[in-house]
Amino acid sequence: MDIQNQYVVQLENVQKNYQLGKTEVQALKNVSFEIVKGDFITIAGPSGSGKTTVLNLIGCVDTATSGIVRVLGQRTDQLDDEKLTALRHRGIGFIFQTFNLIPVLNIRENVELPALLDESDTTMSKAEREEWVDHLIEAVGLEDRMKHKPAELSGGQRQRVAIARALVMRPPIVLADEPTANLDSATGESILNLMKRMNREYGTTFIFSTHDPGIVEMADHVIRLKDGAVIENRRRVVEDAVSADGLPLSGQVKAVEEKTIEAKVHV
C-alpha cells in the first residue's frame, strides 16, 4: 500500500502566528510530521508549547499562517467554511478538555447529536444510527444513564459521553484536547484505556494532547513540542502476537520496537 495513502494527517513546514495586541507571537515554527491511519498518538509538551494550536489546525477549526496542513488528503487552506465544516463533520470527532456536552440534551441525544446536525446526510438510516448510538453508549458503559442530563454525571462519565459522541459519525480521526486534564488520575487512565480500546476496535486514529508524562507513555506515537517546535517524534511499533495459524491474538503483544522518526527541530 502507498504510504501516502496511509497518512490521515500531514503537516509541512507549518507556521502559526497570533497577534497579541501589537506583538506577534509565533505559536508554531515550521512544524512538520505525519500521522498514519490507526495511530494512537499524543501531542505532548508543556503549557504554551503549541499542542492545542496543532490540534486546532488538524481539527480544521483554525488555519495556518504558512505551510500546508493536509487532513484526510485535503489541503485545509484550500477549503471554504462550508467544506471545512463538512470535513469536520464527516472526518473528525472531537473530545474536549471541558467535555462540552450540550446541557439541554440528555446523554443519548448528546451522543447522537453529530449524526443529526445534517438532515440531508443519509449515510446511516435511522435504525442503523439508533443501533450504533446504543452500541457506543454501551461501549462506554453508560447504558443506564441514557436519559440523564450531563449535569447529573461525574466528570469521567461526561468524558465517556464525549468519546461516544466523537465516534458516532465513524470518523477516521478523533481529536482529544487534554482529555484527562479535568479528571483525577484513576479516571484519566480509564478514559485513556477506553480511547485505546476504541482505537483498536474501530481502527480510528486518536490524536490527543497532554502534558502528563504518565499518559504520554500510553501512546503508540509521541510528538513532543517545545516552544512551538517538534523536538521529538517517536513511534512505538507494536507487533501483535499471532496464533499458530497466523491469526492475530487480540490484546496480546508479541514485541515492541521503539523507532524515532526524524524530527525537524527548529528552535
Partner 1 sequence: MIAARMAYGNLFLHKAKSIILGTIMCLGIAVLFVGNSLIDTAVNGLHKMFVEGYTGDVMVTGPTSYTTTIFGETAGGEDVIPHIAQYSKYEEYLAKDPRVKATMPMLSGKVAMGIGEQVIGSGSAFGVDSESYQNFFSGNVTLVNGEWPVKADPAWIMLSETSTAMLSRSAGKTLAPGDKIVLSALNDTAGTVIREVTIKGIIRFNQSNQDLARISLVDADTLRDLLGFASLRDGPIELTPEQAQFVSSFNPDALFMDSFTVASGNTANAAPTSETAQTMASSAATTTAATVQPAWQFLLIKLQPNANAEQFQSDLTKFAASLDENDHVQDWVAGAGSVARGALTMRLIFNLMIIVVGVIVVLITMNVLVVSISERVPEIGTLRALGAKKKFVRKMIILETTFLAIISGVVGLILGYVILILLKNSGITAPNVFFEAIFAGKKLVPTISAIAGLEAFLSIFAMSIIASLYPITLALRIKPVVAMQGE
| Interacting residues with partner 1 (CB under 8 A) | 52, 55-56, 59-62, 81-82, 85-86, 88-90, 94, 96-100, 102-105, 109, 112-114, 116-118, 165, 169, 177
Gap between the Cα atoms of 236 and 40, Å rounded:
10
Residue number, 95 or 192, with CB nearest to partner 1: 95
Nearest approach in angstroms of CB 241 to partner 1 is 38
Nearest approach in angstroms of CB 101 to partner 1 is 8
CA distance readout (Å), 35 to 10, 32, 131, 233: 6, 10, 31, 10
**Angle of the 107-116 helix axis to the 155-167 helix axis, nearest 10:** 30
Nearest approach in angstroms of CB 244 to partner 1 is 45
Residue number, 52 or 157, with CB nearest to partner 1: 52
| Cβ neighbours for 188, distance < 8 A, ≥ 6 positions apart | 179, 180, 212, 215
What's at 157, amino acid-wise? Q
Residue number, 83 or 259, with CB nearest to partner 1: 83
CB atoms within 10 A of CB 34: 19
- What is the DSSP pairing of strand 74-75 with strand 66-71? antiparallel
Residue number, 71 or 220, with CB nearest to partner 1: 71
Nearest approach in angstroms of CB 119 to partner 1 is 8
Nearest approach in angstroms of CB 240 to partner 1 is 33
Residue number, 106 or 235, with CB nearest to partner 1: 106
CA 228, 207, 154: angle at the middle one, nearest 5? 110
The answer to whether the beta carbons of residues 84 and 60 sit under 8 Å apart is yes
Nearest approach in angstroms of CB 46 to partner 1 is 18
Of 188, 190, 219, which is closest to residue 44 (Cα–Cα)? 219
Residue number, 158 or 235, with CB nearest to partner 1: 158
Nearest approach in angstroms of CB 92 to partner 1 is 8
Strand segments (E) across the chain: 7-20, 23-36, 40-44, 66-71, 74-75, 92-95, 173-177, 205-210, 221-226, 229-242, 248-260
Residue number, 117 or 249, with CB nearest to partner 1: 117
Gap between the Cα atoms of 132 and 207, Å rounded:
22
